A and B are shown apart, each in its own frame.
Chain A
Amino acid sequence: MNFNKLAIAAGLAGVCVASGAHAATLDDVKARGQLRCGINTGIPGFAFTDSAGNWQGFDVALCKAVAAAIFGEPNVEYVSLTGKTRFTALASGEVDMLSRNTTWTYSRDTDLKLDFAGVNYYDGQGFIVSKELGVASASELDGATICIQTGTTTELNLADYFRANNMSYEPVPIETETEAKEKFLANACDVYTTDASGLAATRSSYPNPGDYMILPEIISKEPLGPAVRHGDSEWGDIVRWSLNALIVAEEKGITAENVKEMASAAGDDPEVNRLLGTEGEYGAMMGLDQDWAVNAIAATGNYGEIFDTFLGPDTEIGLERGLNALYTDGGILYAPPFR
């Protein structure tokens, strides 16, 4: 993180000079004919490669949706970024947007000069234990040995949680996900803690996933979302409303399959009509085509479809919607209205 700050500080002068050129990201993207999208170098469910070498995943789908909103088809050049390079790559203009499980925090929004265009996944830190341990809740973890990745916010969250609940624990510091798996499976620690989506993915890779359970407690807030640079609100709007379009599409029952049909003529629901461009001139307000949302939804499906494809109960990862359900289904996904 310090390196990021340093790099950004060192480059600020350059950015100031260059800010004129970055002002209209949409024009740059259109001229290039491709959206440069920063993604993770690999995280189960969110960004991974298939056997043909194509990027897939929950975060990747958002890149495709934004690109489809602009071009009509998902023309994306994926730039995989590590935790260390992601913010500088965005600030220096190497990528147009980040869609890389980045937690929306105060200091990132202000100090690092990012603009978060919404939240596409509400994550939080959780615990996984072996069923043999006989523990049903995190409040019973007093005195447990816990595998924890060092130097992360999860480490701090864990300390806070145990102190607040007057419990003690013995940390087993580990460096990587792989090491965590080996240690946890070898019973070197009773509990492993990281983001809940990561726990689900890790569990799916165990030889006997059924022997382990994720505890119901979530001890931190990790709202993950796409981010763009400060200083180009028009571009931020495009990313924000591409994401919102996917969420509204689920709310209104628009899917990748029926979107073309629904967009062919104006229907009964005025908001659907505005979204799909059969009523009003809503695409032009962002400098996009009238059918931008149609293309975005057709490219990836609505939010629910994306979730089910990469993270949902039918996948190996098997995550429930939980907080990420629509507000009408008991979750907190709530897109502002299209009007």
Chain B
Amino acid sequence: MESFRGKALSWELKNGVVELALHRAPCNEIGSLTLEELEQFVKVLERVTNEAHALIICSEIEAGFCAGADLRELHWRSQQMERKDAARGVRDFLERIHRVLNLIDASPLTTIAAVHGVTFGGGFELALVCDLIIADKMARFCFPELRLGLIPGFGGIPRLKRDLGNAVVRDLLLTGRSFNATKMQQVGLVSQVVGEGEPLRVARATAVQLGKFDRRTAVAAKRFIKPIPYEELRKEIDVFCELFAEPAVEAGLRKFVESEEAQPYLP
């Protein structure tokens, strides 16, 4: 058995199943710390490919799976730098997180996101790299980036387009509204909606089922049915960086960070 417990996430390989659990308060916001640990994780993931058949990604935080990028860190860092240096820093961060997410997306393991509660922005994008999404009935999915003057930057749009009809993608992105798990299952993104507190148990049961099949066949099937939209992912980084240079983004970030509104999570 291999295991690791860091400041933002932990992972364990047991009985052919790798479990990656996020545990950074308040709601697993993805900043430089989480990215560094994810980079360590994907190195391990590549190494244990022959010992495992499934990967489960879940959260130990009660509030949800992941609230997305760490906007407070992004705002703080961009305040410490010249504008052009901040833009370069954002591009570097995006390229690193894309490398991590592309590796998980392309992993020969069958991957399951076991999500609950807030699954917003970058958290939604993390779930989207997985082959299956198993959602607590109380989970909510949202891309609130447009309120900041941005688009999702962790591969959200190309991966949504891979899996969903364009009208649903437009609804999610352009309104910024959140969908509950049942709606997400109706549109075809969520594989199973389960009771409160049940996603990890169901994901583990699903992982046991996956282990019954020949791995080479499963890998071939995955390659055939889940192409990775690399070209669009590259374009997404470019569009995000262009938008990030707009003054409206800095204002939007400041408003979010300084917000004392009762409803900052409502788009």
Q: Are A and B part of the same complex?
A: no
